Structure 1
Amino acid sequence: MTKLLLALHVLAAIVAIGPVTVAASMFPPAARRALAAPDDERAVGTVHLLHRICRVYAGVGIAVPVLGFATASAMGVMGDAWLIASTVLTVLAAGVLLVLVLPRQETLVEGGGDAAVTVRLAMFTGIFNLLWATVTVLMIVRPGSTTGA
């Protein structure tokens, strides 16, 4: 059962977090293009699509920590430092996405904001991506693990 849970956890991370990371990274430059040419339907459509991807996959992404906790419980590692650190970083990443990234995207999608908003959004997106990259490394390396990784 542990292998199945781990496989589902990893697949959920790839399928859910990957698209959010990519779409969120693509959003600021796409928003700048749309701001520069508000009559360009393709540029505006791209911004709407990227925002929808971020919103939908952020919701789907809840499966990642749910499956992660099930896997950790099955593996008996719930108290391990690497898992606690990963959990804290995951909560921070979710917070950055929900409080700092998605609302700014929404502002830009609704026609508000300017180039300065896209710069701050790019910074917050970078922080979100860095947090997820750190979680990924912790999940692979698992400091203190006896697996020899």
Structure 2
Amino acid sequence: MFKLSTCLSTLALAAMCSLGFVHSANANTTTAVSIAKSSPTFLGDGGTYPFSEAVRVGNTLYMSGQIGFKDGKLVKGGIKAETKQVLDNIHSTLLKYGYRKSDIVKCMVMLTDMDDFDDFNKVYKAEMIKPYPVRSAFGVSELAAGASVEIECMAAK
């Protein structure tokens, strides 16, 4: 009968030998990887609201959600007009921080009426650049200021 300590020692030796084998098998193909950590840079502010306009971490820009505000008011004209204004606002934010529409990698869309999805997509398709970013769309019961659509995006260089 083996003692527990002998059994554990045997398992530990086997594990170390296995790791050594894996390391030596990969020794000629392994390269050093340098991981640089970047602190977040908070950009702009939400004015009277408690959020930043965007946050940059490394080369990635995370933008707060945008609604169809122009000159401090929600644009009139329904989902198409609001979507166009939202995308214009996103474009302005991108340019302000040195990014372009083609740098967008992900968008999250919130719609108060999923029946507006087709009209939303018509404007989105006309305003965005192929290849389109990955995207999620959610039906929500309500958005700030009575908006019909809100879009939040991430961009990377």
Q: What is the TM-score when the length of structure 2 is the normalising length?
A: 0.26
Say which one has the larger Rg: 2
| Greater helix proportion | 1
Higher relative CO (CA 8 A, sep ≥ 6), structure 1 or 2? Answer: 1
